[in-house]
A and B are shown apart, each in its own frame.
Chain A
Amino acid sequence: MKKLIFSLILLVFLITACQATPLTQQVPPPYIDTGIDPESWATIPAGKFPLGQQSVMTDIDYDYEMMVTHVTVEQYANFLNEAFASGDIQMGEVDIAVDDRDLIWTEKGVTGYYEGDDYDGYKHEEEVLAEDKILIPFPNSTLRLTREGDTFTAIPGYENHPMTMVTWFGANTYCEYYDYRLPLELEWEKAFRGTEVNDKSDGIPFPWGYEFQQNNANYYASFDIYEEMYGKLGSTTPVGFYNGQTYSIDGYGDYETIDSPSPYGLYDMAGNVWQWAGDNHSNQHYRHLRGGSFMTYEIDLRNWKENGVAPYHYDPDVGFRCAR
C-alpha cells in the first residue's frame, strides 16, 4: 500500500513537472501561408437572418462588407507605422480609473484620442471620457510586434496571425483610420451564420453548419500543431487556417483542417481569437467580444455566445476585424 501511495504521489509530481510554455516565452512558429488573403472583403447582402439562440428572424436592410479574416499582426504593424507618421497616434501613458476612481493604474504603450461615450450613470457603469486611450500596451512580451526606431514590424512567423493584445480603442482606431468601422453585433451574427434555418427554424450555430469537429476551428481542444508546439492552451493560428489544407511543421507532424468558412466566405468567425464588436450599449461601458478563441471550449464558439469587457482591456486571445 505504501508503495502504491508513493507511486501515485511521484506520478502527480512528474505530471505537474511538465510545465507548459507561457505565451510570453513562445518561440515564434515557422511562417505558414494559408492562401487566404487578409486584404479581402466579403459582401453581406440586405435581408432577414436568424438572430441569437432563439433564431428570431431579424432584418438588416442594407448591404455591408466585412473583412474575410481577422486583422493580422502585419496589417496592424503597417497601420501603426502610417498612423505614427501622420501623427494620429503616439507612444505614451494613460491612467485607467475604475470604481469611481477608487482604483487607478497606468498603462504604457501606443495611445490615441477617443471622443468618449455617453454616460448613463447606471449601476456598475464606468465613464468613458474623451481623452487619449491605450491602443496596445508597449513594450509587452506577449505582443507580436517589435519596434526599431519609428518602425513597427511583425515578429517573423506571426505576420499572418491575428493581431492580439489590442484594446477596443486600438481596434476601433485601426478601423476608423481606414474609414472602416467595427462591425455591430447584429452585422457580425449575420456574417457568421447567414440566413438559412433548418426544419426546426434554427439557424446554424457554427459558421460552417450544425455539427462541430475538432479540426473545424482553433479552440481549446483543437489539437492543432500549435498545441503540439506550445502545450495544451496552444496559440493563435494564421488567419484562414481552417480551409481544408493539411499543414506540416517539422517535428510536429501533419494537421488536417476542414474547410470552415461562413456562408459568406468569412474565415475564423468561430475560434482563434475573440473579435471586438462596435456597439456602444446603453447603461454599460463594456464592449462585447464574439466568436470564442483558442483558449475557450466549443460552447463559446456558438453564434450567439457573447463575452464582454471594458474597452481598455487587452488579452492574447482578443483581436478584431472591420466592416464597412
Chain B
Amino acid sequence: MKEFLGKRFEYLFRSTKGLTLVAIALVAIVTGIWGTLSGPMVEWGVRDIIVNTLGMDIIPADREGRIIMLYHTIAMTIIAIEVYFITEVLPMKRREQVSINAVITIGYMLALFFGLGFAYFGHNYAFHGLFLVGQTLIFSAGLMLLAAIWPWQEKYLLPEGSPYARSKNGVDLERVAFFAMAAMTLTSSIWGAVTGSYWGNGHETFLGEDIIRHPGHTALQKAIIGHLHIMVSLVASAITLIVGRWLDFKGKLHKWGIPLGIFGIIVLTIGALSIVWFTWAHNIIYVGAVFIMMEALFFVIYSWDMLIRTGTAHIEKPTFFQKMGALFSDPLKFGVGWQMVFMNFTVSGVGIFLAIRLDKVFRVWPHREERITLTGHWHVLAALIATIIILYYADLSGLKGKTRKWFGWIVIIASDIAFAGATIFSMKRLFVDASNQQTTVNNTMLMIEFGLGIILVLFALFMIWRLYDLFQDDGLWTKELKEEKQFNTKNEIEEQKQKLAELEKTLKEAE
C-alpha cells in the first residue's frame, strides 16, 4: 500500500503532468460544485442540497465578497497550471523548475482551500490569513520564475539564422515575451494587493459590473477594475505563448508577432493600471490590445498554415479540399487557433461594438442589461481560455485517433454553441425588447446549458479516465512519469556537464 501510494504521490506532486492533473482536477471539482450555486441549479433545488450537504454558510450580504474569493481561488489555480506549462516548455535549470513548481503548488492550494473555507464555510479569519499566505507564495513563485527565465542569460541566446524571433544580440524574444508577461502579472497583483489592504478601511467589496454607471469611482475602485481586466488578459496572453511553443511557432510570422506581443503586453498593462490616474488610459489600452491581437493573429495564421503544410506534405499538388481536410484533421491543434478567432466574435468584437455605440445603445438599456453583457463578456473570455487549456492538456495526455478527434470536436463545437448563446443572450436588447424576449431567452439559455453541459460531461469522463488510469499499475501515468524522469535526468546530466566544464575552466584560470 505504501508503495502504491508513494508512486502515485510521486507522479501527482513531483512531475509536471501530475501537478497539472491535480490542479485541473481541483478546478473541475470547484467549478462543478460551485457552479450549482447560481443560475438554473438554484431553481432546480440543487443549490440547497449542496449547501446543506457541505454545510456552507452563504448569507446574501456576503455574495459579492464570496464570489470574488471564488474567482481568486480559481484564477490562482489556473495561474499555477500555466506556470507548470511554462516551466515545462521553457528551458531552465531542473532545480529552478522544481522549486518554482513546489512553491506555487503550496501557494495555490493554500489559496484555494482556505480561500473557499473562509468565503463559504464561516468567516474564520485564520483561513483568510492562510489565503493571503497562499497568494504571497504564488507571488514568490512568480519572482522565482522571473529569475529562472531571465532572457539575457548567455546559455539561452539564439544563434544567428535561428527560425525564432531574436534580438541583434541573440536574445530569445519569445523568452522575453514570457518574461514580460510574468513581470506584468506580478506588477498587476500589486494593484490588487494594495487595494485589498484597504478592505474594510475605506474600501468596500464590489463587482465591477455593479458600479459601472456610477459617475465617479474612487482610486481603489479603479485600481481593482484595472487589475481584474489586465489579469484576465495576461492569463490569455500566457496561454497564447504556451500553445505557441506547443505548435512550434516560428518563421517570419514569429519574428514579427513576438515583438508585437511584447510591446502589446507592456502597453496594455500600463494602460490598464494607469486608469487609476488617467481617464484617457483607455487609449493606451486600445493600442496595447491591437498589438497583442496582432500577435495572436500571426500565431493563428502560422498554426493553420503549418497544419495544412504538414497534413498535405505527401501530396504534390493538394486540392482545396485536401488542404481543408488537413486543417481539420487534428481538432486539438486546429482548435486552439479557432478558439482565438471565435473570441473575436464573442468577446473582442462585442466589446469594440459596444464601446463605439456606448451612448447610443449600451447606455440606453437599463443598467441590469449592461451588467449581464459585461458579466457574459468576461465569463466567455475566461471559459474560452479554459477550453484552450483543455485542448492542450488533452494533447499532453496523449489522446490519439478517434478519441482525439471526438474529444477535440466536441469541445470546440459545444463550447462555441454555449458562447454564441451567451453572446446572443447578453446582446438580446439589440434586436428584441423585454416584452418579446422570452423565446430568445429560452433558446439562448438552452444553447448555453446544452453546450456547457456537454463539455462538463465530456470533461468529467476525461477526468474519470485519468482517475481510473491512476489505479492501473502500468497506466498512462507511469509512462508519463518515466518519460519525464528520463527527460529531466538527461537535462540534469547536461547541466552537470556544463557546470563541470565551467569549474574546470575556472580551475585552469586559477592555476
Contacts and interface: CB of A to CB of B under 8 A. Distances in A.
B365 A309 contact: yes
B435 A24 contact: yes
Contacts of B215: 122-125, 281-284
Interface string A4-22: 0000000010011011111
Interface string A112-131: 00000000001111100000
B61 A202 contact: yes
B437 A210 contact: no
A289 B438 contact: no
Nearest to A52: B204
B367 interface: yes
B443 A16 contact: yes
B439 A22 contact: yes
B360 A313 contact: no
Contact of A299 (B63, B360, B446): B63
Interface in A114-161: 122-126, 141-142
A24 B439 CA distance: 13
A307 B436 contact: no
B398 interface: no
A78 interface: no
Given A54-B204, A205-B61, A302-B60, A99 B366 contact: no
A308 interface: yes
A286 B213 contact: yes
Given A54-B204, A309-B366, A315 B434 contact: yes
Contacts of A317: 434
A107 to B, nearest CB: 12
Nearest to B44: A221
Interface string B365-376: 111100000000
B43 A99 contact: no
Contacts of B6: none
Given A223-B43, A233-B438, A12 B450 contact: yes
B60 A316 contact: no
A79 B320 CA distance: 71
Given A205-B60, A205-B61, A283-B216, A316 B434 contact: yes
- Per DSSP, chain B at the interface is helix
A172 interface: no
A103 interface: yes
Given A210-B60, A282-B215, A300-B368, A295 B360 contact: no
Interface in B71-91: none
Interface in B420-471: 434-439, 441-443, 446, 450
A206 interface: yes
Contacts of A300: 368
A54 B363 CA distance: 28
A98 B368 CA distance: 19
A306 interface: yes
A307 B368 contact: yes
A298 B64 CA distance: 14
A102 interface: yes
A55 interface: yes
B42 interface: yes
Contacts, number: 112
B434 A102 contact: no
B366 A289 contact: yes
A231 interface: yes
Please classify how large the interface on chain B is, using the bins under 10, 10 to 19, 20 to 34, 35 or more.
Answer: 20 to 34
A73 to B, nearest CB: 15
A310 interface: yes
A99 B213 contact: no
A31 interface: no
A268 B326 CA distance: 61
B366 A16 contact: no
B364 interface: yes
Interface string B342-382: 00000000000000001110011111100000000000000
B59 interface: yes
B213 A284 contact: yes
Nearest to A140: B435
Contact of B438 (A22, A123, A141, A221): A22
A106 to B, nearest CB: 15
A299 B64 CA distance: 10
A181 B365 CA distance: 25
Contact of B366 (A282, A299, A313): A313
A125 B363 CA distance: 10
Interface string A206-244: 100010101000001101000000011100000000000
Residue among B204, B368, B442 with most chain A CB within 10 A = B368
Contact of B436 (A24, A103, A289): A24
Interface string B164-194: 0000000000000000000000000000000
Given A21-B438, A24-B435, A309-B367, A124 B204 contact: no
A296 interface: yes
A53 B205 CA distance: 10
Contacts of A315: 366, 434
B33 to A, nearest CB: 19
A23 interface: yes
Nearest to A202: B61
B210 to A, nearest CB: 8
20 contacts: A12-B450, A19-B439, A23-B438, A102-B360, A206-B60, A212-B60, A221-B42, A233-B438, A283-B216, A284-B213, A284-B215, A297-B38, A298-B42, A302-B60, A307-B367, A308-B213, A309-B366, A310-B363, A310-B364, A315-B366
The 10 closest A-B pairs by CB, nearest first: A221-B43, A283-B215, A99-B359, A20-B438, A205-B60, A309-B366, A142-B435, A23-B435, A22-B436, A233-B438
Given A16-B443, A123-B279, A297-B38, 7 more contacts: A98-B363, A124-B358, A232-B438, A232-B442, A302-B63, A309-B366, A315-B366
Interface of B: 38-39, 42-43, 59-61, 63-64, 204, 213, 215-216, 279, 358-360, 363-368, 434-439, 441-443, 446, 450
